[in-house]
Amino acid sequence: MSGTAVQRIDKWLWFARLAKTRTLARKLALSGGVRVNRAKNDSASRPVKPGDVLTISLRSGVRVLRIVDGGTRRGPASEARLLYEDLAPPVPSRDAGPGADLSAGMRPSKRDRRALLALKRPPGGDFPAAGD
């Protein structure tokens, strides 16, 4: 896909699916959350070209992207990923380390809950004593 060599930053953000609408892409470009080659962006019409590095502050975190192509339309996500190269280091997964618990964050099964209740139960049986 070979898009135009130079393109407005708001249009590129929209084509790359970093903003849902063109208006939101414009607001993102004007908000100060986008840097082009380490320089703060103050205009939605700032031209960007392949090779420029964008640092974008989003709700989900900071993304560092190198523009690979300008794009000609807002296509599917698979097509949008071809417009940039992600320069941020990969996020290490939680269970990548040694001794990682694979069930972390999951609810216990019925069998697990019963085992936990058996551990918490006072010794002496399931029924209260006759005098209680």
Say if 81 falls within a structural domain.
yes
What percentage of the chain carries pLDDT values higher than 70? 79
Q: 8-58 pLDDT, tens per residue?
A: 999 999 999 999 999 999 999 999 889 999 999 989 999 999 999 999 988
Say if 103 falls within a structural domain.
no
3-state secondary structure of 104: coil
- Residue 77 is predicted with a pLDDT of 92
In terms of residue numbers, what domain contains 14?
7-87
- Residue 55 is predicted with a pLDDT of 93
Query: In the structure, what pLDDT confidence band is assigned to residue 123 with cuts at 50, 70 and 90?
Result: confident
Residue 118 has pLDDT above 70, yes or no: yes
Q: How many domains does the chain have?
A: 1
The model carries a pTM of 0.66
Distance of CA 117 to the CA centre of its chain: 38
And the tokens for 8? Answer: 């407005």
Q: For residue 84, give the H/E element and its range.
A: strand 84-86
Say if 78 falls within a structural domain.
yes
Q: Which domain CATH number covers 49?
A: 3.10.290.10
| Residue 40 backbone class (left: φ over 0; alpha: ψ -120 to 50; beta: rest) | beta
